[in-house]
């Protein structure tokens, strides 16, 4: 469908001019009164309104207010004579996108109209993405059948309506960031930014500038002013992930922000007011950290106004089948394929495994199976061996993490042990290496040789990825 421009002007030659200039690329509608224009905007999906200030009957300013009142989301450009620029500026304060003076310069008119339509596209896309995020992170869409989690979600719904600090506690991989996003998107701040900060990812001197920003000239290399995460989240939520890793010297600075709702940019001379909600997460016992002198008690009490603990996956085993099926469907949908199903013997293994990496580990295993499983049904023998073989070696630093290759080792063991130099342990090591190499090659092919994106896709550090490239002769 072509984009539609509505021109509201009592001079017929203005509508004609727009049709001459833009008629080939866009659909141009005309209206000579505000009333007709409002009806046209209501009846048609209009992407841009060109609105004259001087109209018979209802004025352009009144028409602008009526357009906004009836729900028009697209940009409105005011057309005005030179002597009415002040009124046009007033219209912009009332929500107009821009103004242009008559008589038109054709090139300027094209520039303004095309810019407004690009803005309309971006605004529509941002709205769509925001709605998708809001829908994705609604509590009712988080996959669970566990009574513990359902009870937890009812608590989260209540706390989302307030503005208090929330401390989310739980083991790595339990979904603390998903819960933080659910709190944000269920709150009155949902249309404002959700800004995550990993407190463990940066050294102290970089973390301070990342959180609070800096002024130009604050330090060597600071060529221009940069806002920090707290400023970027204004009106929304700052998510302090791994807050237990905050260096002690940084903790009083965070405390001051929470107490005063103001920040100091590095190199700044004045304090800047901020309006943010803080949600923090940790896999540590912060009370114990306080006892050991590694975390400030006053900051702990500020953050833990409302503490939430997410139970590990091993304590809600009823979620394992539904999560496994959900992840398989998710990966299948991305590849436009039918989702794999899980045989009963395989499901028994999945449910009995303790999942030290929690939901994240389960998701990674399902992703590997969706790539490597040959048939439509996952059996026990397709599962990574470490799930059911207690003698399987640990390879936590490899591409596969703690996962490994599906193989029916039990049936082959007797034969293989008879082969000189090719016992079961040796073959396991070779199979492990072969699968890692294959996954690396697939990831590189998927991202046209982009090593950074391939490493991110495989969820390993760039250092590990480059080490493996060298090890397998792929560098």
pLDDT over 50 (residue 414): no
Domain boundaries, the chain: 4-133, 153-311, 316-383, 409-475
Confirm if 361 and 355 have CB atoms less than 8 A apart.
yes
Which strand (E) or helix (H) includes residue 433?
helix 424-446
Q: Give the whole-angstrom CA distance, residue 371 versus residue 328.
A: 10
Q: Give the whole-angstrom CA distance, residue 311 versus residue 171.
A: 8
Q: What Cα–Cα distance (Å) separates residue 378 from each residue in 98, 156, 183, 331, 395?
A: 59, 35, 35, 14, 23
153-311 and 316-383 share one fold: no
Residue among 241, 238, 242, 244 nearest 257 (CA):
238
Residue-wise pLDDT for 109-163, tens only, equals: 999 999 999 988 887 776 676 666 556 656 567 788 899 998 888 888 889 889 9
- Mean pLDDT confidence for 354-366: 92
Residue among 291, 204, 213 nearest 248 (CA):
204
- The pLDDT value recorded for residue 134 is 57
pLDDT over 70 (residue 442): yes
Q: Which residue has the higher pLDDT, 372 or 166?
A: 166
- The pLDDT value recorded for residue 475 is 63
When the pLDDT of each residue in the chain is averaged and rounded to a whole number, the result is 84
List Cβ neighbours of 348 (8 Å cut-off, separation of 6 or more).
380
> What does 251-317 look like in DSSP terms, one character per residue?
HHHHHHHHHHSEE--BT-SS-EE---EEEEEESS-HHHHHHTTSS-HHHHHHHTTEEEEPPPGGG-T
- The pLDDT value recorded for residue 244 is 94
pTM over 0.75: no
Confirm if 100 and 112 have CB atoms less than 8 A apart.
yes
- Please provide the CATH number assigned to the domain covering 153-311: 3.40.50.300
- The pLDDT value recorded for residue 293 is 95
Looking at domain 316-383, its CATH architecture is Orthogonal Bundle (1.10)
Q: Give the whole-angstrom CA distance, residue 175 versus residue 164.
A: 20
- The pLDDT value recorded for residue 397 is 44
State both tokens at 53: 């200030």
Residue-wise pLDDT for 234-261, tens only, equals: 999 999 999 999 999 999 999 999 999 9
Alpha-carbon dihedral sign for residues 153, 158, 161, 166: negative
- Please provide the CATH number assigned to the domain covering 409-475: 1.10.10.60
- Please provide the CATH number assigned to the domain covering 4-133: 3.40.50.2300
Confirm if 139 and 153 have CB atoms less than 8 A apart.
yes
């Amino acid at each position: 469908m072509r984009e539609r421009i509505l021109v509201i002007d009592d001079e017929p030659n203005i509508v004609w001019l727009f049709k001459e200039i833009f008629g080939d690329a866009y659909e141009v509608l005309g209206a000579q009164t505000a009333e007709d224009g409002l009806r046209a905007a209501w009846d048609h999906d209009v992407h841009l309104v060109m609105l004259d200030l001087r109209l018979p009957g209802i004025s352009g300013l009144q028409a602008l207010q009526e357009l906004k009142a009836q729900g028009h989301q697209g940009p409105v450009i005011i057309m005005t004579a030179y002597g009415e620029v002040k009124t046009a500026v007033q219209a912009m304060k009332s929500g107009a996108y821009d103004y242009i003076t008559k008589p038109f310069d054709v090139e300027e008119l094209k520039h303004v109209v095309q810019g407004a339509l690009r803005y309309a596209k971006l605004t529509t896309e941002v709205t769509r993405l925001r709605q998708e995020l809001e829908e994705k992170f609604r509590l009712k869409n988080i996959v669970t059948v566990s009574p513990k989690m359902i009870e937890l979600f009812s608590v989260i719904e209540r706390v989302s309506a307030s503005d208090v600090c929330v401390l989310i506690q739980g083991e790595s991989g339990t979904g603390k960031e998903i819960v933080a996003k659910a709190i944000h998107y269920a709150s009155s701040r949902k249309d404002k930014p959700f800004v995550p900060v990993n407190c463990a990812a940066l050294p102290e001197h970089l973390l301070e500038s990342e959180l609070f920003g800096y002024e130009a000239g604050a330090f060597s290399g600071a060529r221009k002013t940069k806002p920090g995460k707290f400023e970027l989240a204004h009106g929304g939520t700052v998510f302090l992930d791994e807050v237990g890793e905050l260096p002690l010297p940084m903790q009083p600075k965070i405390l001051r922000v929470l107490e005063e709702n103001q920040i100091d940019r590095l190199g700044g001379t004045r304090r800047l007011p901020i309006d943010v909600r803080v949600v923090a997460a940790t896999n540590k016992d912060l009370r114990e950290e306080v006892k050991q002198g590694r975390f400030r008690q006053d900051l702990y009490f500020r953050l833990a106004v409302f503490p939430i603990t997410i139970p590990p996956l091993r304590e809600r085993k009823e979620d394992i089948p539904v999560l496994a099926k959900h992840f398989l469907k998710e990966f299948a949908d991305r590849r436009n394929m039918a989702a794999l199903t899980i045989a009963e013997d395989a499901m028994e293994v999945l449910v009995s495994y303790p999942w030290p990496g929690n939901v994240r580990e389960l998701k990674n295993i399902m992703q590997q199976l969706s790539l490597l499983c040959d048939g439509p049904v996952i059996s026990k023998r397709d599962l990574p061996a470490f799930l059911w073989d207690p003698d399987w070696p640990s390879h936590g630093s490899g591409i596969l993490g703690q996962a490994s290759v599906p193989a029916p080792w039990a049936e082959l063991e007797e034969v293989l042990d008879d082969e000189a130099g090719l016992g079961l342990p040796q073959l396991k090591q070779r199979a492990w290496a072969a699968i890692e190499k294959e996954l690396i090659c697939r990831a590189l092919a998927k991202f046209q040789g982009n090593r950074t994106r391939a490493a991110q896709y495989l969820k390993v550090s760039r250092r590990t990825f480059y080490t493996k490239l060298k090890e397998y002769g792929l560098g």
